Chain A
């Protein structure tokens, strides 16, 4: 057991920690409060009155559903692409030595280091040069560039911690490449992929900058929210959407936290 378990933190530190937590989370709570505001044009404190009517209004707004569907679709597809390509790339870079390995590693990571606006502009000009019309797929392409990095980084870190000889051991014991992937590689990088995939999904879900350049007239959820704020009309609807998004995203995060809480217990290995 840790010896400092019984030490009590000084009061000032407790207050500072509490204040920090409040500072981060009170604004989120405010969003929840305004979702029930009767006033629909401005945010004023305290809210003049509370109502639940905006839940029903939001439910019946087709533009909310459209934006939400598009966002979920884009995030799912980009995450799926990133999981496959990011894992393969990480396996190649960490599993073997070849000419240009470091360069490839750098090129894969670069999109996350580049400002989103550069990625956005370059993609947009590429699309117009090649006369590709804007569609879900142009957004997916934009998002996949940084989603791959997230999955790749997580997978590469795990591959590095995993002894390379267990792959050889598996082959030595009679497993072909597919069996080795299924029984040895996947269980060992599974949690890293899960975390990487969730991060990638979350990044794609609230991405604005690259999306504005690659979406054309389409609206993903964050872009829809931005536009709602600019021309206020039934303002609390935005807050209801934000509230639902927070609640819905909290769930997978809790699940992932639960699954990865034991370092050496790997999810899905109870065969």
Chain B
């Protein structure tokens, strides 16, 4: 099957800054693909390279098997939902959504009907006559989505689309986006710095750091088997443990990662690692503990219903060896 998007050794350098550096990537058709990384890691530049707003300084990009070299944004069958939504302030919602069809010279009746359908798809029917300025953040987001989807793109690019929404709305939009993607079967490429968002929505995740992809895999892969300390640190709040700790508990001198929820906290004096509670944070469904174990700062999560040790109390930590994941690289 032809991949939806292919990157072959793609670089985008701005003078001395290597925003994207020799990235290889294949995104499959119909996939929900997340690009995850801290700000400045190159994920947004990758998105802009697919959209055509940036041209690579090196390497080669293909979209559905066709070379994208030198193809301007308006000739790519790819649409973007912008971080700030970028709705046209001078047009009403319906004309905003119909814009892509208007510039392609689709007749007025036909394009307004298509725009109304797209608004129904994003659950905003009847909002057509309003101005973008009269909408809430969540509604603008939906209009931006409808405006992109009305063009029936082969690939939909989403640049931190949920960043400006409050938590509750964000969770609701996450579900809706996922459902929308599954029902439409369009390839979604989603840029985010929120690991929770990437893990919960994506079929596959690419973790970016310093212009390079550190690891690509399913959310489970990324979360359970981080390849490097950076991934372990960035994706979820894993405990990164140094080689001497791993040596003692798994018999190998390599960096390891240990998820907070795989650590069991028991009474002092039991078999395992002696530790002291530094602080505890009540999270509702669980309590998160900061612990001092053999001079190492670890985090553990105690589910609700289990007695929680107090601050300063001595405890014993235990975990099954298979939860101690060994990483390939010590570096970034």
Point out residues on A near B: beta carbons under 8 Å.
162-163, 165-166, 168-176, 179, 183-184, 187-188, 264, 266, 269
Contacts and interface: CB of A to CB of B under 8 A. Distances in A.
Nearest to A173: B100
Closest 6 CB pairs between A and B?
Answer: A173-B100, A165-B86, A169-B86, A175-B103, A171-B73, A187-B90
Contacts of A174: 74, 100, 103-104, 151
Given A183-B99, A183-B103, A264-B131, A175 B74 contact: yes
B88 A168 contact: no
B102 interface: yes
A266 B91 CA distance: 10
A115 B90 CA distance: 39
Nearest to A187: B90
Contact of A169 (B72, B82, B104, B131): B82
A172 B102 CA distance: 13
26 contacts: A165-B82, A165-B83, A165-B84, A166-B86, A166-B88, A168-B53, A168-B73, A168-B80, A169-B86, A170-B103, A171-B74, A172-B78, A172-B79, A172-B80, A172-B148, A173-B99, A173-B103, A173-B151, A175-B99, A175-B103, A176-B72, A183-B102, A188-B89, A188-B90, A264-B133, A269-B90
B159 to A, nearest CB: 9
B276 interface: no
Given A169-B86, A173-B74, 5 more contacts: A165-B84, A168-B53, A171-B52, A183-B99, A269-B91
Interface of B: 51-53, 72-74, 78-80, 82-84, 86-91, 99-100, 102-104, 131, 133, 147-148, 151
Nearest to A263: B133
A266 B102 CA distance: 19
Contacts of A264: 89-90, 131, 133
Contacts of A188: 88-90
Contacts of A170: 88, 99, 103
Given A165-B82, A172-B74, A173-B151, A266 B90 contact: yes
A163 B89 CA distance: 9
A176 B147 CA distance: 17
Nearest to A269: B90
A171 B72 contact: yes
A179 B52 CA distance: 17
Contacts of B90: 187-188, 264, 266, 269
Contacts of A168: 51, 53, 73, 80, 82, 86
A254 B78 CA distance: 46
Contacts of B51: 168, 172
Contacts of B103: 170, 173-176, 179, 183
A184 B95 CA distance: 12
Nearest to B83: A165
A223 B18 CA distance: 61
Contacts of B91: 269
B79 A173 contact: yes
Contacts of A172: 51, 53, 73-74, 78-80, 148
Contacts of A171: 52-53, 72-74
B143 to A, nearest CB: 12
B57 to A, nearest CB: 17
A162 B133 CA distance: 13
B74 A163 contact: no
Contacts of A163: 84, 86
Contacts of A269: 90-91
A176 B74 contact: yes
Nearest to A176: B74
Contacts of B79: 172-173
Contacts of B88: 166, 169-170, 184, 188
A173 B147 contact: yes
